[in-house]
Amino acid sequence: NPAEGARCQQCPCPSGSSCVQKPGTQEIVCTDCPLGLSGKHCELCSDGYYGDPQGRMAGSVRPCVACDCSNNVDVNAVGNCDRSTGECLKCVHNTAGFFCDRCKEGFYGNALASVPEQKCRSCACSAFGTIGTGQTCNPVTGQCQCRPHVMGRDCGRCKLGHFMSKTGTGCTRCDCDPIGSVA
Amino acid sequence: PRPDVDPPPPGSSLLFAQGQLITHIPLAGSTLQSESAHTVISLHGSITVGLAFDCVDNMIYWTDIAGKTINRASLNGGEPQVIINTGLLSPEGLAIDHLGRNAFWTDSGTDRIEVSKLDGSQRRVLFDTGLVNPRAIVVDAPRGHMYWTDWNREAPKIETAYMDGSERRVLVSEDLGLPNGLTFDPYSRQLCWADAGTKRLECVYPSHGTRRRFLEGLRYPFSLTGFSGHLYYTDWRRDAVVSATLNQELEEHLPPQRSHPYGITTVFPQCPPGNFFHMHH
């Protein structure tokens, strides 16, 4: 700061961007970090970007790039991803995972489908025909875990010749006369 | 009442948040003094979103979604102080009741609205139901009202309640898109919001509900502040602070740092008029 007779020093900021000395402190703050960069010395990524522009954390320099959350974050939200690792923090459309690239627990389908409604659908396993109370199902096919002699994606139907017992133990054989009975 | 367009009290200014910076822009009347804008606080590693000002103690309050904290510091410098650092996921809106000495905030991670004393003590949850993407929150301290926005894409709304959490009701739910910003002008007693879905600034008189459009064709408004006929909002496409009056954009302040500006609030040289004359409960 020439006013105090000290010689001018270059700003500790990338590409020579300008800086200011905070009044009454020795602290130098960069004031116009390039796009995607922020922090006192532009050493951090701005919200919505991730990386390690000056290699301060893991040693290797990783330029700030926009977060990639498989189009499964809301553009109107803030803090969508972790600024150093890039982990997506606010997955929407019932997606989950580091990049919001899979369906969350209790849902199945293709998190990368283009139409939001077709991405992840609820397992909605039938209470009577499903083992356990959990709403988990195969993340791609949506197949729930059926009790004995039960069928259907959501374990909602009995195999031929069986009926759904109300006691929630799955389906039991009809012991009826094969000729006189209707399937 | 016709919106009075008398200039703001002399010495008013603006504060806006941008990543780790909180920048002060003086006003001459209602004109932005861009050339004398300067950084008042630089917070290592924080993403400052909600911003509010206590006109009694001249203290700046802000939310940091990176650190998941609510903090304060004096306008004229001094060490920042954390007032809340637990139970926060995405604290985005913040309001100060300068009369009751309380802080109100929204959190779109926990989907709650909470209140505490200005030092963070006596914290309690006011609402934890019926909220999807709560964001901006403001108070009308003398009349004991609070207002907030929820940019839930299925059902965006602006709600109101008394500051003790009683008599919650929806104030606006029609023709809304992404109501990100909200401000209550203590002088004209209008509630105005910035909507990134309809791309409009709109105002309503809460007392009798007449609503009107203030400015249209915005690019991507986030936060809003204003008084006596002038509104100032932050815009994510322009990465700028924009000033406007009825149906007319006036000026733009382009900060040197190229990143999204978030919260913006007004600094009055003295507290707006009105003290407790209607204390509810």
State pLDDT tens for residues B195-218.
999 999 999 998 888 999 999 999
Contact A47, B49 (CB under 8 A): no
**Mean pLDDT (whole number) for B170-191:** 94
Q: How far is A71 from chain B (nearest CA, A)?
A: 16
- A27 contacts in B (CB within 8 Å)? 42
pLDDT classification of B270: cutoffs 50, 70, 90: confident
Q: Do B108 and A47 count as a contact with CB atoms less than 8 A apart? A: no
Averaged confidence pLDDT in chain B: 92
DSSP assignment, residue A33? P
Q: Do A32 and B133 count as a contact with CB atoms less than 8 A apart? A: no
So what's the pLDDT on residue B82? 97
So what's the pLDDT on residue B4? 42
Q: Do B44 and A40 count as a contact with CB atoms less than 8 A apart? A: yes
Averaged confidence pLDDT in chain A: 86
- Could you give the dihedral angle defined by the CA atoms of residues A12, A15, A21 and A27, in that order, rounded to the nearest 10 degrees? -30
A-chain residue closest to B21, CA distance: A39
- A34 contacts in B (CB within 8 Å)? 258
Q: Give buried/exposed letters for A18-46 (b at 16+ CB in 10 A, else e).
A: ebbebeeeeebbbbbbbebbbbbbbbbbb
Assess whether pLDDT exceeds 70 at residue A116. Answer: yes
The label of the residue with tokens 């309640």 reads B161
So what's the pLDDT on residue B276? 58
Assess whether pLDDT exceeds 60 at residue A29. Answer: yes
Substitution target in B90, B259, B262 with the highest count of A β-carbons within 10 Å is B259
Q: Do B151 and A35 count as a contact with CB atoms less than 8 A apart? A: no
**Mean pLDDT (whole number) for B219-231:** 93
DSSP assignment, residue A3? G
Assess whether pLDDT exceeds 50 at residue B279. Answer: no
Chain B residue set in contact with A, beta carbons under 8 Å:
18-21, 38-39, 42, 44-45, 47, 49, 65-66, 77, 90, 92, 108, 133, 151, 153, 178, 180, 196, 256-260, 262
pLDDT classification of B68: cutoffs 50, 70, 90: very high
Assess whether pLDDT exceeds 50 at residue B220. Answer: yes
Condensed to tens digits (0 to 9), the pLDDT of residues B109-163 reads: 999 999 999 999 999 999 999 999 999 999 999 999 999 999 999 999 999 999 9
Q: How far is A68 from chain B (nearest CA, A)?
A: 18
The label of the residue with tokens 């939200």 reads A77
Assess whether pLDDT exceeds 90 at residue B249. Answer: yes
Q: Do B262 and A38 count as a contact with CB atoms less than 8 A apart? A: no
Q: Do B196 and A76 count as a contact with CB atoms less than 8 A apart? A: yes
- B42 contacts in A (CB within 8 Å)? 22, 27, 29, 40
pLDDT classification of A177: cutoffs 50, 70, 90: low
So what's the pLDDT on residue A6? 59
Tell me whether strands B38-42 and B59-64 are parallel, antiparallel or unpaired.
unpaired
pLDDT classification of B2: cutoffs 50, 70, 90: very low
What is the distance between the alpha carbons of residues A59 and B169, in angstroms, rounded to a whole number?
53
Contact B112, B100 (CB under 8 A): no
A-chain residue closest to B93, CA distance: A78
Q: Give buried/exposed letters for B118-142 (b at 16+ CB in 10 A, else e).
A: bebeeeeebbeeebebbbbbbbbbb
pLDDT classification of B6: cutoffs 50, 70, 90: low
- A83 contacts in B (CB within 8 Å)? 47, 66
Q: Do B259 and A83 count as a contact with CB atoms less than 8 A apart? A: no
Instruction: Give the closest of A31, A38, A79 to B39, CB-based.
Output: A31
Higher-pLDDT residue of B263, A57: B263
So what's the pLDDT on residue A7? 65
So what's the pLDDT on residue B54? 96
Q: Do B258 and A48 count as a contact with CB atoms less than 8 A apart? A: no
Beta strands in A87-143 (DSSP E): 95-96, 102-103, 107-109, 120-122
Winning range, highest mean pLDDT, from A116-125, A165-174, B81-90? B81-90
Q: At A52, phi and psi to the nearest 5? A: -145, 80
**Mean pLDDT (whole number) for A97-122:** 95
Of B44-48, B84-88, B177-181, minimum mean pLDDT range: B44-48
A26: contact with B, CB 8 A cutoff = no
Q: How far is A83 from chain B (nearest CA, A)?
A: 9
Q: How far is A34 from chain B (nearest CA, A)?
A: 6
What is the distance between the alpha carbons of residues A77 and A84, in angstroms, rounded to a whole number?
18
